[in-house]
Amino acid sequence: MLSKKTKYGLKALTYIAKNEGDNPVQISEISKNENIPQKFLESIMLTLRKSGFLGSKKGKHGGYYLIKEPANIKMADVMRVLEGPIAMVPCVSLNFYEKCDDCPDEHDCSVHKLMIQVRDNTLKVLRNNTLEDLSGS
């Protein structure tokens, strides 16, 4: 299940991509228009800034802006930062690999084989889609 954190984060990025002008976009504006609790959104924006997707300007007339072109922001990368691993089990994760406690040999594990296929297909979608695709009409 997708966490609210990720969902809100994706919506916020989309909102900024659509509404970015000369001034940065403020949390309060996104919060109102997308029905996201403001304080919760605050922490999400912080994460997105610290991970290099957003820049920010403090103080009056401050807010957030995109650092990269929407076409260069892959959903796979955003998801990894907000949601964590894309794979459904750590033992098939490319970026967050971990051995399973219960498997003596993962190459002999039926779940492993299945989850690699799921991961590959999910990755294909998340790599093909950029913020431009999400924010485009």
Partner DNA sequence: GTAATTCCTATTAAATCGATAGGATTAATG
Partner DNA sequence: CATTAATCCTATCGATTTAATAGGAATTAC
Q: Which residues bind a copy of itself (CB under 8 A)?
A: 1-2, 7, 10-11, 14, 34-36, 75, 84-85, 88-89, 101-104, 109-111, 113-115, 117-118, 121-122, 124-126, 129, 133-135
43 touches DNA by CB under 7 A: yes
Block residue for tokens 């955003």? 78
CA distance 49 to 83: 15
Radius of gyration of the chain (CA): 17
Cβ of residue 56: shortest distance to a copy of itself, in angstroms? Answer: 22
C-alpha dist (Å) from residue 28 to 9, 32, 71, 75: 14, 6, 26, 24
The option from DNA, a copy of itself, none interacting with 63 (CB < 5 to 8 A, set by class) reads DNA
Q: Which of 18, 20, 26, 93 binds DNA (CB under 7 A)?
A: 26
Structure tokens at 67: 């650092």
Q: Which of 60, 105, 108, 110 binds DNA (CB under 7 A)?
A: 60
List contacts with DNA (CB under 7 A): 3-5, 8, 26-28, 37, 39-40, 42-43, 45-46, 49-50, 56-64
